Amino acid sequence: MIHRTLAIDDDEVTLILSKYQLKQAAFCEHYVGLLSANAALEYLKELNSLQLYHEMPELIIVDINMPVMDAWQFIEAYEKEFGNKFPEIKIVILSSSVDPQDPIKARKYKSVIEFLSKPLNPAEIENLKYNKWLIKHFVPNFQAQIA
């Protein structure tokens, strides 16, 4: 199970539904939902400055279309500020975007591991558990099995 997940979406209902789905699937122990990318960056900066590294999320789920700062701007700022310090933190984009270029654009970021369509559903959550970057949280001794 992932210890901490941070979700960023300007729609509070989506945050509530995502939290419910992730908890039902035993995906994460702790869930923090924030309504803006700016708030998320400030949250991460505060954890970092206070050296609360154990509070940093292992996974960030972010919506593309948000006011003030969209997902692309957030990811750029995140990778610049934290990408080298916390390479184990991965990002999943969860969006209702129908732009076929968005999944292609997502691949250019080293921290982005998946592009999913809203709403988050149980099958997608189960598939995430087997993502090569996340499987270690769900399969005991996974590293030992592949060695």
Please check whether residue 45 is in contact with residue 77, taking contact to mean a CB–CB distance below 8 angstroms.
no
Torsion sign over Cα 85, 82, 106, 98: positive
> pLDDT at position 147, please?
44
Q: Name the phi and psi angles at 97, rounded to 5.
A: -60, 140
* pLDDT tens-digit readout, 90-144: 999 999 988 999 999 999 999 999 999 999 999 999 999 999 999 999 987 666 4
> pLDDT at position 140, please?
78
> pLDDT at position 143, please?
60
Residue written as tokens 């990778």?
79
Q: What is the mean pLDDT of the chain?
A: 94
DSSP 37-88: HHHHHHHHHHHHHTT-GGGS-SEEEE-S--SSS-HHHHHHHHHHHHTTT-TT
pLDDT at 146 over 70: no
Q: Any idea where the domains of the chain sit in the sequence?
A: 2-146
Q: Which CATH class is domain 2-146?
A: alpha beta
